Amino acid sequence: MIVSILSPKGGCGKSTSALTLATVFANNPDLSVAIVDADPRQSIARVWYGKRKEEGLQDPKFTVISDSSDDTILDTLEAAGAAHDLIFVDLEGVAGLMASYAASASDLCVIPMRPSALDGDAAGSALKMIRDAGRAARRDVPARILITQTDAAIITKSHKELLAELDGAGVGRLQTELMRRAPFERVMAEGKTLFELTTNKSVASAISNTARLGQELADILEDQ
């Protein structure tokens, strides 16, 4: 199954979501998991994976595939879909054709957004694009908003307003939010997975947060 993680807004946590979700699913030894890095910046395939190589770490439990070309992304996704049970597609934070292609081939699209008006606007565009890309491909492509980088201690007023607006408009969203936690930044900086970070309470919380998100995602995919 293919899960595209997309938003035309940069910095909302697409790569972090893809990386941490792939990590928790790949923790299941029976599941073959891959990330397709379709962002020309190659945050996962070049930066994160390069850091891993630099540090002499073993290959992760999931496969990392690099393709950032509009011309070949559909072939890559088709091949990845045949070879793996679950694929997360990490897309560039721009309003690109690539996002439409990936959405049309996905079984689920996840739109990360921070609880801010600008991210909300970008998420709205993404939702409409996914709906219409699915129609163009004669498929129903479900989408869910993922609220990211939220404060673990306090829900702000704008956060509450955003949730109320999403729920009021009947927009599907994941109930689990990805909190703002230092370990999510450390995985990128150190080229490690959450499970490879030095264990402390913060890392345990980040793992737990991602596992809960993964479980919710698994339930949605299994029910389809």
Partner 1 sequence: MVGKFLNLDDDTPKPDASIGAGLKRKPKPQRGRADTKAVAAAGEAHGFTRATQPQPPRAKKPKLEPDQPRRGRPPLNEAMTYWRIYVAPDLRDELNAIRDKEGKRLNDVLRDMLAVYKSQKR
Residues that bind partner 1 (CB under 8 A): 1, 8, 24-25, 27-31, 38, 40, 67-71, 74, 78, 81-82, 85-86, 92, 94-101, 103-105, 107, 125, 128-129, 132-133, 135-139, 150, 152-155, 163, 167, 175-177, 179, 201, 204-205, 207-212, 214-215, 218, 221-222
Q: Which residues partner with 35 through β-bridges?
A: 64, 88
Nearest to 80 by CA among 100, 94, 62, 98: 62
- What is the nearest approach in angstroms of partner 1 to the Cβ of residue 176? 8
CB of 174 to partner 1, least distance (A): 10
88-120: b or e for each residue (b if 16 or more CB lie within 10 Å)?
bbbbbbebbebbbbbbbbbbbbbbbbbbbeebb
Residue closer to partner 1 by CB (options 2, 48) is: 2
Residue with smaller CB distance to partner 1, 63 or 176: 176
Q: How far is it, in rounded angstroms, from Cα 100 to Cα 203?
A: 35
Residue 191 or 209: the one with the smaller Cβ distance to partner 1 is 209
Please state the separation of Cα 37 from the chain's center in Å.
Answer: 11
C-alpha count within 13 angstroms, C-beta hemisphere, residue 171: 24
Question: To the nearest whole angstrom, how small is the minimum distance from the Cβ of residue 190 to partner 1?
Answer: 19
- Nearest approach in angstroms of CB 153 to partner 1 is 6
Strand partners, 178: 148
Task: State in angstroms the smallest separation of the CB of 204 from partner 1.
Answer: 6
Residue (1 or 47) nearer to partner 1, CB: 1
Residue 48 vs 106, nearer CB to partner 1:
106
Q: CA-based angle 36:41:45, to the nearest 5?
A: 40
